A and B are shown apart, each in its own frame.
Chain A
Amino acid sequence: MLHFSELIIENFGPYKGIQEIDFTSKNGVNIIWGNNGLGKTTLLNVFRYALFGRVQGRGNKSHSLKQIANWESYDEGKYGFKVTLKMYNDGVRYDLTRQFTVKEGVSQPEKDNDYKEDIFLKKEGTILSQDERKHVLNSIMPEQVSRFFLFDGELLQEYEDLLSEESSIGIKIKDAIERILGVPVLTNGLADITTAEKEFSARLSKVAQKNNDTQLLGNLLVDKQSELKTHEEELETLKTTLKELNVEKANLEEEMKQTDRARELLNEKRIQEDIESRKKEALSSKKAEIKMLTKNAWQGMLNNRIKLALEKLEEEINVYEEKKTKHAVSEQIIDQIHKACEQGECPICEQEISESLRQTLKSKTKADIGFEGLSDEEKNKLIQLQGRRSQLRQLNVDELKQQVTSIEDSISDITVEISDAEQRLSDINKSLNKLGDTSRAETVSGDYAKCLEKINNTKNGIDSATDIITKVTGEIKNLEDKLKKQATDDELIKAEEIRDLSGKIKQIFENGVDLYRERLKQKVEEDASDIFTKISNQTEYTNLTINEHYGLSIVHETGRIVEIRSAGYEHIVALSLIGALHKNAPLQGPIIMDSPFGRLDPDHKRKITSALPSLAEQVILLVYSGEIDEQLARRTLGGDLINEYILTSISAFNTQITKV
């Protein structure tokens, strides 16, 4: 069990000079009160720096170490910083010191390179070697599981990613959870026993080769084992590639998040540029149209004269057309009369026509009735007049006016649209300039798509390789079974038995891993549910259920899963998971929580405060007054509250830690 007893800070962040926090050797809760900007989160970084040599900024980004040194001390010529963390692990005392000091020959450090870092780990007063130090620190608190000990309330979103199978962060956290729960002890064991089994298998083949009766089988086995080894190496390479690609994918996802805004703006810019270009084209076209039309605008001046000319023409044409029509009609009538005379019957009333009437009609139709048709000259004249009329009609200026007005309206509209597009483009360009270099925004999504494709191809490769390995392993098993039947030699029999036994041990570990995972998940689910129901106010939420990736979902009393949960309940579920992991992990140590209460209501805060001692044996809480009620916290925790400190601002870059 790891326990922090004392922390000594020198010129780190806002902590000027040498300042100490004594956590004592007692188990319980330590509260450090500090309002915003005084250095609570920096305290989390103090632990992080001591244990892992790095500090973290907002959004999980690493910080340059030079920036961490206290500014006032820097101005006074005191450069660098130092942290000493005193702790006990299973009763053994360790003093870990990490310091960042100026290199020899540097009078005023400007960058990280002007500093050097020294690390010392003492075990019961004796300084350990570099290798021993690394081994101890990695055993005490491996960095991969630090998120479960150094709990940052701002990074709770990551735990929601456990619910998603494809999330890169989710995969990372799942690996970290299995690490803290001791699963690698079994999986490493399985890997090593598998290697041992292969070694024994290879020895068996060599022994078989030595014997005449089994030489052929031995040779075949050697070949198959060599083939298997090649495929396994290929599979390992592919798995390593897949891991690297997943890391690349996570990095690209982060880049895409960061360049989201730039991409949005660039897309908008493309759209507006397209609009602007099309509108300008349309404007040109309209202007050309109007130019064509207004070529004939002079005709407007002759409008009245054209009207008069048309009227006169219409009159003249009407005269000829009337004459033509009258002649046509009278011809028709005469034709009807001739037919009646021939048939001796009226074609309309069908009355008989007498001979004398016929003669009368014949003589009348021969006489000049005054409805002559147009003479040739008149016909030509009519054609001329109609042609002229047609030409004059084309010069209809009223229609021309309407067309020009319509086009002018369109030009106005388009001009406004172009202005709008130009204004939007100007705004977009201003926003883009503020973002700085946006070239990556254009390329990152292409890179992401390529990465996904590579991941897919690699996964297919892994599937293929796995299939081949299964096949070849089966072939090896068949050969070994045959060998077993044929073995008479003592050495061969012994080699077979050893190989057999190693195979059985491998099976024990293989099935053992699955069984352990199942049991673990069950226990984590039970313990997390237990913590959850103590903290949650909602009695209808009866328990939590765990998925393959240790993601926890809330179960309603009806059995339904609560799919969407509030930020507050995200907090509660994450805290329940952390408490459950601490309870089940082989690595036991303190939890340091920075602002774990987030958006929780007072009632939930009180319940979480009350549950703190059950989450871990040593809890260090970094909160601002008002985040939880001080008096209530003291009353709720009672004897479990070991220590209280307060951060006081002396100046913007000087915070003092004082015991309450």
Chain B
Amino acid sequence: MEGLKMNTNSNLTELLDALETIRLENYPEIPKELLEEILNIEYEHQDNRSEGQSKTLKLLEQRLNQLVDKNNNV
């Protein structure tokens, strides 16, 4: 739905909740915010898959580079 963000939609929260359960248990090094951002992109672009994919890829590239650099600088 246009304009909806994670913190105003309880169903998206449930989607994130499922991911968060897996993340906390097995992959705590992956930031929660990254998963939230991916979900938002996918939610916004359900009817435009190519745009959704392109944005997800760009986001991952950016965030994962930042994350690796951050981890290596620590």
Contact = CB atoms under 8 A, between A and B. Distances in A.
Interface of A: 89-90, 92, 134-136, 138-140, 142, 181-182, 184-186, 188-189, 191-193, 195-196, 199-200, 494, 497-498, 501-502, 504-505, 507-509, 511-513, 515-516, 519, 584-587
Closest 6 CB pairs of A and B: A586-B11, A516-B18, A138-B47, A192-B56, A512-B19, A189-B42
A587 B1 contact: yes
A193 B38 contact: yes
A617 B61 CA distance: 42
A516 B21 CA distance: 10
B46 A501 contact: no
B33 interface: no
Contacts of B15: 182, 185-186, 516
Contacts of B4: 90
B23 A585 contact: no
B60 A502 contact: yes
Contacts of A92: 2-3
A200 B61 CA distance: 9
Given A135-B48, A182-B11, A185-B43, A498 B65 contact: yes
B65 to A, nearest CB: 7
13 contacts: A138-B46, A139-B1, A139-B47, A186-B15, A188-B42, A200-B64, A498-B64, A501-B68, A508-B23, A508-B35, A511-B26, A586-B11, A586-B43
Contact of A189 (B3, B39, B68): B39
A386 to B, nearest CB: 106
Given A138-B46, A185-B12, 9 more contacts: A135-B47, A189-B38, A196-B57, A505-B34, A508-B30, A509-B19, A516-B18, A586-B12, A587-B1
Contacts of A142: 46-47
B22 A188 contact: no
Contact of A135 (B2, B60, B61): B2
A480 B51 CA distance: 30
Contacts of B48: 135
B9 interface: yes
Contacts of A508: 19, 22-23, 26-27, 30, 35
Given A189-B56, A199-B57, A502-B60, A184 B19 contact: no
Contacts of A505: 27, 30, 34-35, 38, 60
Contacts of B72: 494
A515 B18 contact: yes
Contacts of B67: 501
Nearest to B23: A508
A494 B68 contact: yes
Contacts of B18: 186, 512-513, 515-516, 519
A185 B11 CA distance: 11
Contacts of A584: 11
